[in-house]
Structure 1
Amino acid sequence: MTSHDHDGPDIDLDALARKYVEEREKRLRADGVGQYQSLSGKFASFDTDPNAPPDFDRDPVRRQADVVVIGGGYGGLLTAVQLRKRGVNNIVILEKGADFGGTWYWNRYPGIRCDVESYIYMPLLEETGYIPSEKYARGAEIYEQCRLIAEKFDLYRDTLFQTLAETLAWHEDRQCWDVATNRGDTIEARFVVSATGLYSSPKLPGIPGIEQFEGPSFHTSRWNYDFTGGNAEGNLTGLAGKKVGIIGTGSTGIQCVPPVAEYAEQLYLFQRTPASIDVRGNRPSDVEWFKSLPPGWQRERMMNFTALTSGVAQDEDMVNDSMTNLFRQPDATPGGRFQDINSEERNKAEILRMETVRQRVDSIVKDRKTAEALKPYFHYFCKRPGFSDNYLQVFNRPNVTLVDTAGKGVERVTPRGLVVDGQEHELDCIIYATGFDFMTSYARESGLTVIGREDTSLEAHWKHGARTLFGMQTRGFPNFFVLTLVQAGVSFNYLHTADAQSIYLADLISHCLENNFGSVEPTAEAEDEWVNLCLERSEARLKFLANCTPSYLNYEGQQSEEFALNSPFGGGPLPYFEYLEEMSREGFASRLEFKALVES
């Protein structure tokens, strides 16, 4: 069967479907997410902070707080800011890094940049008066804006840096959490917000011999500038005369490959699955346009983007980039049918879009064999789309070699390099652009031991998958909140989700403090209702992902009850935001159980 569209190419849909299945099956592995390992053994030292003062020390802290916020990334920052706005000032923030920033503090690899437009990704632009320099800001600029937010809202005085929360224990008689850290701190907190981030636990591929390589090897979130020279802007002069291998073709690989290619004598990129590379179209900010925007413009723009990328028609596309372009395809939104991830309209738009992505490879990459290997054969949303105006171009350089592993990955690591299909590629350095644990185990990703009522651990409570209300609270763990995407509505702009969650929980915490409630947790009925709704609404998404090329989005191709429970809310971000807003408007009583404060 052939599809023809007057705005697009002729496509043999049957042949394309077979190709998608063939490419997927090449990449299926029995070990699923077990194919990855944490930063252990030789790599354990990389779990330290290369950006922090090495000899930092302080005396243990003993104090009481209304709220402890764990994490100083955007989730923690937004939570603290919203609490400040509501007059909640007795806050302690615990951050394992030496400054605010989260992902943007730890990740400083060359070429780092956000894929979401800075005007909707960088929060509180109106409150801080900050104007991003570009439509897609560099990592260093986003990090500096995090620091600006902390300064404006006076958060530094409440923060313990280079401090890792280790154990939380709930005490029913005192209606509080005892928070213990790696520096001997003990903080008694009425409420705890865990904002440890989506990308906080780096992972490495479990390739045999990974510790045997004799040269420098490191994860991109712990970039070794002592070896490469330069900084996030480039100038990697230490790579002169060096043969470098990079494993990973996700967003990080797409961004760090061009600057490495510029300075290395030879770059080998080891590819298991080609990425979908669309136009970024970056440009400097128009300052006069920015200054002319009316009050409330940022939230309106965020909502416009989230609605469009959820398949909801809008009169105007305010962001107007490659991400929203898919949803402007013919027949994309009539009657809202494009919101169904398995609908014919959406499938058609994705097929046309991926065909343009593959045609773009042909138009840029000169070597035909390399170009063919770089073409992605999967549905557009099986993997997070990539955006770059200089990634594909590097494969025209004589010093860049694509080592396509045909879906199998690298066979083993030797003292001298990497082996693919029996051939050893000798290297001076190996860089792992292999990402982070994502929505797997909360305890594993956060590093926290959480003990709730009746000495029950959260890890045991969620052994077979999360059980929450709105992805943020779980019964048996009063006054404990988690900012995560598990069972939560997910926008392509994560900051929109974090913003909505931080407003909700700040409203709820201030409501408890104002009304002398000692504890709050979901009712059993509300939690069951939300879990069942999540499972019901996730069926369409899980059906779609079941046929996708393996990735972190589908547990590397393995479906399970745990995966279903640890997935985002399938109803999408817009209904999710409505649930949160409705709860706040109605005073929270419908789904939560409150207990009066016990006077000590």
Structure 2
Amino acid sequence: MARYDAIVVGAGFGGMGAAIQLDRLGLSDYVILEREADLGGTWHVNRYPGLAVDIASVTYSYSFEPNPYWSRLFAPGEELRRYAQHVAERYGLRRRMRFGTAVEQARWDADRRHWVVTTGSGELTARFLITATGFLSQPYTPPFPGIDGFTGRIVHTTAWPDDLDLTGQRVGVIGTGATAVQLVPELADVAAELTVFQRTPIWVVPKVDTPIPAAVQRLFAALPVTQRAARLANTAVLEAIMVAGVLEFTRAKVLNRGAGLLAKAHLRTSVRDPETRRALTPGYDFGCKRPTFSNRYFRVFNSAHVRLETGSIAEVTAGGIALADGSEVALDTLVLATGFDLWQANFPAITVRGRDGVDLGAWWRASRFQAYEGITVPRFPNFLSLNSPYSYSGLSYFTTVEAQMKHMGRLLGELARRGAATFEVTERANAEFLDRVTERLGTSVFYGGDCGSARSYYFDPHGEAALLRPTSTLNAHREAVRFPLDDYVYGGVPA
């Protein structure tokens, strides 16, 4: 049975960041297990029309591996795929990756002080287990009655066929989240009829998206400090939105209200029909669920062939969708922009059993979702979970990834300094962190605002906003290199 320094589950940007840090620490005997056919995570899986980042590309990338050649301020998905390939080649990661390898479970072997990871092709062992399966990795298909009897085509946005042509078809889209906001305008350009089924409207603000001139790209390449300055400026804007407008809602309501007014003004100037505008206006406070950016989404509802449907779906019929009022919408293709199953049975994405056989997912659901500094969990030795409760800091995923890389560096560096074999966060440290983040969230829009109708994935089944870390990005990075080393217990001697 193969034994490694570490097993990394997931070859997206989180898993690649963890792998880069392992190499920096001299733990280079690792393997990255990926269930998909190639690397890139969400940017490999998602290929729907209109796919692009909704965070400016200068910020949505590793700070230590800038790309001066983004074509637009908000790069299209294909460029993110190429960037992921570049990172893998630049840091020698591809040769450590195993594609098409789905992890079934991982369990801690206390006697041998290592993790045993089971895949479809056998078992592997490693001193350390790092899960980087992403927050949004388990596609959700609503259990609508009759959906299996639909005679047309059903497409989930995470499984978009490259050859799908919807020209002249009657298309229905279920969902109005960030994916739908990008996809709907593209479908409106080709469909004969487009019906958008909305359960919860989304806050949408204007998107200041422009091509990046070749001269600017050359400047970024020749003088990287200029790109770092652009990254810093964009990060400052994102921090203002996240910290002041969302996390400090009760102290800075005027900023939150201002963002909401901007979105409403954008809606008013984009949509002519007042009834449609009312239907597209959220009834919850700005920030209760992730807002998004678009200049085209609202305008498509001015088109005669595009219909916004807010009635409840009763069932899927052979020829379309039947609504609760008895009417039916005839469809040729049904597109599911229904997002992901974040907190339910598939979180975490694999079964992880720690000391005494404790099942991580079952423990989270039975008690509270929690993780010290958003990365480690009591009773799970030598385990680092990059997609954990209270881990997401800032609006760019890369700020989270790099903070966690720093935490890994400090923790595993101390483990090596002590000559120890295992680490495990203490119950005390974990409880204190959970109390601290819970208290800080008390001033956020999640608890101080009106989020009752948001149906936001920020909230776990216990009703707690357990996804975001309620601090600034600067604070998260500072704590990643300063957390008390005695918040962990260290034991044994490496084999």
Query: Shared fold (TM-score greater than 0.5)?
Result: yes
Query: Structure 1, residues 366-413: CA drift from partner, whole Å, max 9, x if none?
Result: 3343333223343221221121122222222222122233xxx32221
Query: Greater shift after overlay, 491-500 or 533-542?
Result: 533-542
CA contact (8 A) 1:98 1:162 kept: yes
Partner Cα separation in structure 2 for residue 577 and residue 301 of structure 1: 19
1:358 Cα offset (Å):
2.3
Query: Structure 1, residues 187-236: CA drift from partner, whole Å, max 9, x if none?
Result: 1100011000011001122322222211111211111344x3xxxxxxxx
**Aligned residue number for residue 151 of structure 2:** 214
CA contact (8 A) 1:546 1:554 kept: no
Partner Cα separation in structure 1 for residue 472 and residue 66 of structure 2: 30
Amino acid corresponding to residue 183 of structure 1 in structure 2: S
Secondary structure of the structure 2 residue equivalent to 1:520: strand
Cα pair distance change 1:130/1:70, threshold 3 Å? farther
1:119 Cα offset (Å):
0.4
Q: Where does 1:173-572 land on structure 2 (aligned, <5 Å)?
A: 173-184=111-122, 186-226=123-163, 228=164, 238-292=165-219, 295=224, 305-311=234-240, 340-343=248-251, 346-405=252-311, 409-420=312-323, 421-438=325-342, 440-441=343-344, 444-462=346-364, 463-513=366-416, 515-541=418-444, 542-544=446-448, 547-553=451-457, 555=459, 562-564=462-464, 566-572=466-472
Q: Which runs of 5+ in 1 are unaligned?
A: 1-61, 229-237, 312-322, 333-337
Query: Structure 1, residues 164-187: CA drift from partner, whole Å, max 9, x if none?
Result: 111111122221111111222x21
1:339 Cα offset (Å):
5.8
**Aligned residue number for residue 16 of structure 1:** none
Partner Cα separation in structure 1 for residue 87 and residue 467 of structure 2: 31
Give aligned-pair identity as a percent. 30
CA contact (8 A) 1:382 1:553 kept: no
Query: Greater shift after overlay, 562-571 or 142-151?
Result: 562-571
Partner Cα separation in structure 2 for residue 247 and residue 445 of structure 1: 23
Query: Greater shift after overlay, 506-515 or 157-166?
Result: 506-515
**Aligned residue number for residue 112 of structure 1:** 51
Query: Structure 1, residues 128-160: CA drift from partner, whole Å, max 9, x if none?
Result: 655211110111110111011001111111111
Q: How many residues align?
A: 490
CA contact (8 A) 1:545 1:554 kept: no
**Aligned residue number for residue 158 of structure 1:** 96
1:310 Cα offset (Å):
3.9
Secondary structure of the structure 2 residue equivalent to 1:101: coil
Please, which of 60, 65, 81 is the counterpart of residue 20 of structure 2? 81
Cα pair distance change 1:545/1:473, threshold 3 Å? farther
Partner Cα separation in structure 1 for residue 169 and residue 309 of structure 2: 17
Secondary structure of the structure 1 residue equivalent to 2:189: helix
Query: Greater shift after overlay, 497-506 or 359-368?
Result: 359-368
CA contact (8 A) 2:176 2:198 kept: yes
1:428 Cα offset (Å):
0.6
**Aligned residue number for residue 110 of structure 2:** 172
Partner Cα separation in structure 1 for residue 430 and residue 272 of structure 2: 55
Secondary structure of the structure 2 residue equivalent to 1:116: coil
CA contact (8 A) 2:347 2:361 kept: no
Partner Cα separation in structure 1 for residue 199 and residue 113 of structure 2: 51
Cα pair distance change 1:306/1:488, threshold 3 Å? farther
Query: Structure 1, residues 297-317: CA drift from partner, whole Å, max 9, x if none?
Result: 666655654554444xxxxxx
Secondary structure of the structure 2 residue equivalent to 1:381: coil
RMSD over equivalenced CA pairs, Å: 2.5
Partner Cα separation in structure 2 for residue 85 and residue 296 of structure 1: 24
Partner Cα separation in structure 1 for residue 481 and residue 392 of structure 2: 13
Query: Structure 1, residues 440-488: CA drift from partner, whole Å, max 9, x if none?
Result: 14x6134312121122222333222234211211121100010125122
1:64 Cα offset (Å):
1.3
Q: Where does 1:64-103 land on structure 2 (aligned, <5 Å)?
A: 64-103=3-42
Amino acid corresponding to residue 7 of structure 2 in structure 1: V
**Aligned residue number for residue 475 of structure 2:** 575
Amino acid corresponding to residue 315 of structure 2 in structure 1: R
Amino acid corresponding to residue 340 of structure 2 in structure 1: F
1:278 Cα offset (Å):
1.5
CA contact (8 A) 1:104 1:142 kept: yes
Partner Cα separation in structure 2 for residue 552 and residue 447 of structure 1: 20
1:112 Cα offset (Å):
0.5
Cα pair distance change 1:109/1:591, threshold 3 Å? same
Partner Cα separation in structure 2 for residue 367 and residue 598 of structure 1: 68
1:117 Cα offset (Å):
0.2
**Aligned residue number for residue 26 of structure 1:** none
CA contact (8 A) 1:200 1:446 kept: no
Amino acid corresponding to residue 65 of structure 1 in structure 2: Y
Length-normalised TM-score, structure 2 = 0.91
Partner Cα separation in structure 1 for residue 65 and residue 467 of structure 2: 33
1:435 Cα offset (Å):
0.6
1:295 Cα offset (Å):
5.0
Query: Structure 1, residues 45-104: CA drift from partner, whole Å, max 9, x if none?
Result: xxxxxxxxxxxxxxxxx4111011110111001111122233321110000111111011
Partner Cα separation in structure 2 for residue 115 and residue 454 of structure 1: 42
Query: Structure 1, residues 8-56: CA drift from partner, whole Å, max 9, x if none?
Result: xxxxxxxxxxxxxxxxxxxxxxxxxxxxxxxxxxxxxxxxxxxxxxxxx
Cα pair distance change 1:394/1:564, threshold 3 Å? closer
Secondary structure of the structure 2 residue equivalent to 1:431: strand
CA contact (8 A) 2:247 2:470 kept: no
Secondary structure of the structure 2 residue equivalent to 1:110: coil
CA contact (8 A) 1:150 1:156 kept: yes
Partner Cα separation in structure 1 for residue 333 and residue 247 of structure 2: 45
Cα pair distance change 1:91/1:298, threshold 3 Å? farther
Cα pair distance change 1:69/1:218, threshold 3 Å? same
**Aligned residue number for residue 45 of structure 1:** none
Amino acid corresponding to residue 96 of structure 2 in structure 1: D
Please, which of 48, 55, 62 is the counterpart of residue 123 of structure 1? 62
Query: Greater shift after overlay, 64-73 or 78-87?
Result: 78-87
Partner Cα separation in structure 2 for residue 598 and residue 353 of structure 1: 53
Cα pair distance change 1:163/1:510, threshold 3 Å? farther
CA contact (8 A) 2:406 2:481 kept: no
Length-normalised TM-score, structure 1 = 0.76
Q: Which runs of 5+ in 2 are unaligned?
A: none
CA contact (8 A) 1:174 1:598 kept: no
